[in-house]
């Protein structure tokens, strides 16, 4: 009897493993950053408003950004058209802080603030259609939070609030190792791409 139970248990484990084969997906990618670009734009506008005499000297203005975001995600294929998971994203930009006006009335900023934006989010990926057995068209939605790890003299962590992603259209070549490209807005960027691995 014990042998029968052991054999049935082994068969059930093997069937479960086969059923869940290649249902886990890990993706690594990057794109054209959304959040750091918009923050940099807002800081630049503050400088313009000051130059036009609309506001007093702002405490922080635009520095530089590399306009890129890097992402790492993991998902599980819950159904034929539905994948759920989580992702993290990273962006960097700098800004100028500690404004002073010298004796000649010329403004200058004495310090640079390094900003490291980290996004953590839950995601849903809807796989609409697959053609030629390997080319898949999809949409992606994500919602989470962003934190800013910044440094002027010392490190400081600020919770920035909600972070999200809406990608109406993406295309992925699916196999054990795949590649993807999508257009949208959010923590993955205005457009992004990368590689995926299924196991």
Domains within the chain, CATH numbers bracketed: 22-198 (2.40.160.20)
CB atoms within 10 A of CB 149: 14
Contact 53, 87 (CB under 8 A): no
pLDDT at 16 over 70: no
The overall pTM is greater than 0.85: no
Residue 5: per-residue pLDDT: 61
Any residues with CB less than 8 A from the CB of 27 and at least 6 apart, and which? 71, 72, 73, 74, 75, 87, 180, 194, 195, 196, 197
DSSP E strand stretches across 33-176? 60-79, 82-101, 107-131, 135-151, 155-173
pLDDT of residue 191: 92
In the prediction, which pLDDT does 169 show? 97
> Minimum mean pLDDT among 87-91, 95-99, 116-120: which range?
95-99
pLDDT one-digit tens code per residue, 138-156: 999 999 999 999 989 888 8
| Average pLDDT score, the chain | 85
Which tops the pLDDT comparison, 15 or 96? 96
CB 84 within 8 A of CB 113: no
Q: Cα angle at 64 between 62 and 66, to 5 degrees?
A: 140
Q: Tell me what the mean pLDDT of segment 78-97 comes to.
A: 93
Is 70 exceeded by the pLDDT of residue 51? no
Helix (H) or strand (E) holding 134: none
- Residue 144 near residue 163 (C-beta atoms within 8 A): yes
């Amino acid at each position: 009897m014990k042998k029968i139970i052991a054999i049935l248990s082994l068969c059930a484990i093997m069937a479960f493993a086969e059923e869940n084969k290649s249902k886990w997906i890990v993706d690594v990618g990057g794109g054209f950053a959304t959040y750091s670009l918009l923050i940099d734009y807002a800081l630049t506008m503050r400088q313009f408003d000051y130059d036009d005499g609309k506001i007093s000297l702002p405490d922080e203005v635009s520095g530089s950004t590399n306009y890129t975001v890097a992402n790492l995600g993991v998902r599980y294929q819950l159904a034929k058209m539905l994948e759920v998971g989580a992702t993290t994203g990273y962006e960097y930009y700098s800004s100028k802080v500690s404004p002073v006006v010298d004796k000649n009335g010329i403004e200058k900023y004495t310090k640079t603030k390094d900003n490291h934006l980290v996004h953590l989010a839950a995601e849903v990926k809807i796989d609409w259609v697959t053609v030629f057995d390997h080319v898949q068209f999809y949409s992606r939605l994500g919602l989470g939070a962003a934190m800013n790890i910044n440094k002027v003299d010392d490190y400081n962590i600020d919770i920035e609030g909600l972070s999200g992603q809406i990608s109406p259209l993406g295309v992925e070549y699916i196999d054990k190792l795949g590649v993807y490209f999508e257009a949208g807005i959010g923590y993955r960027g205005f457009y992004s791409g990368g590689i995926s691995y299924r196991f």
